[in-house]
Amino acid sequence: MKIAVSTDEHTHLVDVILAELEKRGHEVAYFGPGEEGEAADWPDVTVQAVEQVVRHQADEAIVLCWTGTGCSIVANKVPGIRAALCRDAETARGARIWNHANVLALSLRATPAPILKEILDRWFDTPYSDDDWNLKQIARVREIEALVASPGDPPSAIFEKALPHTHSSTQDANRKA
């Protein structure tokens, strides 16, 4: 499997991830600073990595920044990406099963190497769920993504299209108030 990896800061954890991925037989495309202590802009390197997934030049991506939050936010702005910020193996497992996550976001600060290995074990060992209910949820995410990606719609129109049952209920509640 080809994995795109990005980070804004080259730390020891990055070296551990790259070595672990290669040890597991994955091909790695790396986006980020080359040496420990160097830095890059996290939005830029994150987009470079997830773009590899969207263009089918990588199967999945692992994106990192100090907290993991910034890179997960940026990754999820890219249509077709379902990034999950995982701090433990069970979260990684759930992200794969229920969310069909194709991008793993990690914190450079809060991810110890032993926990990283557990997260990677669950991430790579857990297939996407293929039950009808879950497939319906993922299809709904794709529908919402397509609506949100439509240029020119004001935010209220996007939410009205994406969440008609929620929006109507909110309007009804506001009329009664």
Catalytic residues, by residue number, are 65
Residue 58 CA, chain-centre distance (Å), reads 14
Q: Is 2 helix (H, G, I), strand (E, B) or coil?
A: strand
The 3 state secondary structure assigned to 79-93 is: CCCCEEECCCHHHHH
Name the residue among 84, 18, 4, 1 with its Cα closest to residue 51. 4
Conformation bin of residue 103: beta by default, left when phi > 0, alpha when psi is -120 to 50: beta
**In angstroms, rounded to a whole number, what is the distance separating the alpha carbons of residues 107 and 174?**
41
